[in-house]
Amino acid sequence: MTPKHVNAGLSRRDFLRVAGLTAGSLLLPACETNGAGLAYGSGAATRVALAQAATYDRAAIRERVFGQIEALGGLADVVHPGDKVGIKVNLTGGMWWESQTGVPAVDSMFTHPEVVRALVEAVLEAGAGEVVIVEGVWDDTSYAVGYTDIAADLGVRLVDLNAPRRGESFITQPVAGGGLVYGDFLLHPILNEIDVFMSVAKMKCHKLAGVTLSMKNLVGITPLQPYQPVGGSNRAKLHGDGEAYRVRLPSVIVDLCRARPIDFALIDGVKTSEGGEGPWIEGWNPVEPGILVAGKNAVATDAVATAAMGFDPGTDGFAAAPFLDCLNHLQLAHEMGLGPYRLEQIEIVGASLDEVRFAFKPCDTTRAGAPA
């Protein structure tokens, strides 16, 4: 892993200038493609599907997810017969916190397994040869919240990205085109073996990144040990020291999305939490927005999800919530050519934003909390 120096005191504009990057040089041609070969300028890549779901009833969630996929034009342009598909879920913080809050982790912090089950079934129907669910899990019990049942029922393999298979080592995965902070990452070799990569995130605010959606979910593809400082409990090396996170973490998120591009994004906002990514953040509170967001471009999908949370995805970093204390990584990803982040550039299908919008309370960055 090759980190670069990022000055914590730099503004977004100064950071891009120092990095030798300007908005004009970052914008790539309209035919730029994601890992599935979809042109970002095409309707398929700039279309995002919204749906409402009041509960995690299996049949209802399957109907909603399959309906969203149909509204997006199906999966034939993403999953090809025989493909090996990796699905990254969010199991941040581990199961210990559930015992402290009394709130089920799948209803507040974790991607709910019923949402993932529905996507796995859709991927298998699309012709996938193998499906693996991946996450850098915090503890051995995290997958037991319903993912082991998916594995048994659907023949899916569960992989802990913190632990390569016996006899294997982490691979060095370069950031395409060079990174803003990291030139490469140490990653589990399976991330280089899969043909299609999907990110299924929980819809939440984040203390250090504003929101945590399909792109921020990729922080969990990095193995814990290489990015954990001595005596630390998380991947704090990615965050940086002191106030560096304001610029550094949003930039690392974009680097990760260029090292392992996302081919399909699905965001679980049926039951989740506001005020932070987990109960270690003061002001964290479980909520039930009843929202599902899906798309073939992660930036566009996260932008619509951010709007569904009651925020403006087009706001500049350091200007307004949820990005009042950091760069807007959606904007930065757009400037790196990864996709649109302004709503006028995105086609929304299914339910309307007005129908689903739920006003999330952003993180209070003046209050204490250990970042995830």
What pLDDT digit, counting tens, does each position of 314-339 carry?
999 999 999 999 999 999 999 999 99
Does pLDDT of 354 surpass 90? Answer: yes
Q: How far, in Å, CA of 133 to CA of 188, rounded?
A: 13
Q: What is the pLDDT of residues 124-142, one digit of tens each?
A: 999 999 999 999 998 888 9
pLDDT in tens, 259-291: 999 999 999 999 999 998 988 888 889 999 999
The whole-number average pLDDT for the span 206-224 is 95
The answer to whether 248 touches 235, Cβ cutoff 8 Å, is no
What's the CA gap between 149 and 153, in Å, rounded? Answer: 6
Q: Residue 25 burial (CB < 10 Å; 0-12/13-18/19+)?
A: exposed
pLDDT of 370: 47
Report the greatest alpha carbon distance in the chain: 52
| pLDDT surpassing 90 at residue 62 | yes
Q: How far is the C-alpha of 196 from the C-alpha of 346, rounded, in Å?
A: 23
pLDDT at 8: 37
Query: How high is the pLDDT of residue 12?
Result: 43
Cβ–Cβ < 8 Å for 136, 161: yes
Residue 371 has pLDDT above 90, yes or no: no
Where residue 42 falls among pLDDT bands split at 50, 70, 90? low
- H helix or E strand, kind and range, residue 70: helix 58-71
Q: Are 285 and 275 in contact (CB under 8 A)?
A: yes
Per-residue pLDDT band at 16 (split at 50, 70, 90):
very low
pTM of the shown model:
0.89
Q: What is the pLDDT of residue 22?
A: 32
My answer on whether omega of the bond before 223 falls inside 30° of 0, hence cis, is no
Could you tell me the two tokens for 335? 């400037």
CB 199 within 8 A of CB 189: no
Q: pLDDT digits over 85-129, tens only? A: 999 999 988 888 888 889 999 999 999 999 999 999 999 999 999
What distance in Å separates the CA atoms of residue 62 and residue 271, rounded to the nearest whole number? 16
Say which amino acid occupies 139.
D
Q: What is the pLDDT of residue 14?
A: 42
Cα-only R_g, the chain: 19
pLDDT of residue 94: 84
Q: What is the pLDDT of residue 69?
A: 98
Calpha distance 295→116 (Å, rounded): 15
pLDDT at 366: 66
Report the amino acid identity of residue 150: I
Q: What would the mean pLDDT of 37-54 be, rounded to a whole number?
A: 76
Cβ distance 332 to 250 under 8 Å? yes
pLDDT exceeding 70 applies to what percent of the chain?
Answer: 86
Which CA distances in Å does 353 have to 137, 181, 287, 310, 320? 33, 34, 18, 10, 20
Q: What is the DSSP string of 116-172?
A: HHHHHHHHHHTT-SEEEEEE--SSTTGGGGTHHHHHHHHTPEEEETTSPPTT---EE
CB of 234 closer than 8 Å to CB of 222 = no
User: Which pLDDT score, from 0 to 100, does residue 165 have?
Assistant: 87
Q: Looking at residue 18, what is its pLDDT?
A: 34
Q: How far apart are CA 199 and CA 257, in angstroms?
A: 10
Helical (H) or strand (E) element with 348: strand 347-350
- Residue type at 54? A
Question: Mean pLDDT throughout 150-158?
Answer: 98
pLDDT on residue 100? 87
Q: How many residues does the chain have?
A: 372
Q: What is the pLDDT of residue 28?
A: 37
Token readout for 123 is: 């991927």
Residues 6+ apart with CB under 8 A from 301: 48, 213, 214, 265, 267, 293, 294, 295
For the chain, what are the domain ranges? 12-352
Residues 6+ apart with CB under 8 A from 87: 116, 119, 120, 123, 131, 132, 133, 134, 198, 199, 200
For residue 263, which amino acid is it?
Answer: D
Summary mean pLDDT of the chain: 88
> Whole-angstrom Cα distance, residue 277 to residue 206?
5
Write the pLDDT tens digit of every residue in 166-213.
889 999 999 999 999 999 999 999 999 999 999 999 999 998 899 999
